[in-house]
Structure formats: structure tokens, C-alpha cells
Amino acid sequence: MSKDNLLTRREFTAESALAMLAGVAITITGCGDDDSPSAPTPTPTDKTGTVSTDAGHTHSGAVVTAAQLTAGNAVTLTLSTVAGHSHTVALAQADLAQISAGTRVQKTSSNDNAHTHTVTFN
């Protein structure tokens, strides 16, 4: 063999590594569940509560808006005026989180005209 055909140790190692990798496909993926598309977050909608019938009547207006659910701050709802009076219902942040998640929440209204009403959100 002539010296022109001989490889140095470094050249031999590099050529050997290239020969071994010639038929290998390399795939790079991320860690965790980043590969799967995430489910879109549902858009909140207004939630209407049911007001009990007490003292021979009921009220309307037990509606938590989508904006109030998204904000998540405590709110006080004013029920409609019936028979010369209205009621209020206080909802805390935890109540709004449960209502948004579809969990049943029952609250007692303010005591006006010597009675209260129960407001239920499903």
C-alpha cells in the first residue's frame, strides 16, 4: 500500500462515524405533552339561576354574565322588583368558580319585605 491511500487515526474515526450514521434517521421531539394539541378553553356563557317562590311570588334577574364569570370577582345581583320590593344575592369568587364549572350553587337572598328567596345555579 502506498502512503497516499493510508488514513490517519482521526480521519478513520470520522469516516467510520459517518458510515455508521449514514442509514440512521434522527427524530427530535419535545418533552412532555407538547406534541398533542391542547383542547380549546370553552367560552363562558351567561348563567341564569332559578329563584324560589316564597311569600306567594318569585323574582327574576338572577343572571351572572359571561364577563362576570371570566373576571372572577365577587358580585352582588339585584333581583327584579315585585310587589314593591327587590332582593340582592351575593356571590363570592368561589361561588363564581363553581358556577362556571357547572357545579350546583345555592344562595339565600337578602331579607326584604319579611322574607328571603333561594337562588339556585346549576
pTM value surpassing 0.85: no
* Domains of the chain by residue range: 47-121
Predicted local distance difference test score (pLDDT) of residue 15: 85
Q: CB under 8 Å, gap of 24 or more: what pairs does 100-107 form?
A: 100/44, 100/47, 100/69
The three-class DSSP label of residue 97 is helix
Please give the sequence-ordered ranges of beta strands (E in DSSP) within 45-121, or none if there are none.
47-48, 50-51, 63-64, 75-78, 88-91, 105-108, 118-121
Supply angle C-alpha 52, 71, 61, rounded to 5: 25
Question: pLDDT for 25-59, tens place per residue?
Answer: 667 666 665 556 777 777 789 999 999 999 999 99
Predicted local distance difference test score (pLDDT) of residue 35: 56
Predicted local distance difference test score (pLDDT) of residue 29: 67
Predicted local distance difference test score (pLDDT) of residue 18: 78
**Could you tell me the CA-to-CA distances from 10 to 23, 66, 81 in Å, in that order?**
22, 69, 92
Q: What cell does 80 get?
A: 327584579
The pLDDT profile of the chain, 122 residues, written as one tens digit per residue, is 566 678 788 888 888 877 777 776 667 666 665 556 777 777 789 999 999 999 999 999 999 999 999 998 999 999 999 999 999 999 999 999 999 999 999 999 999 999 999 999 98
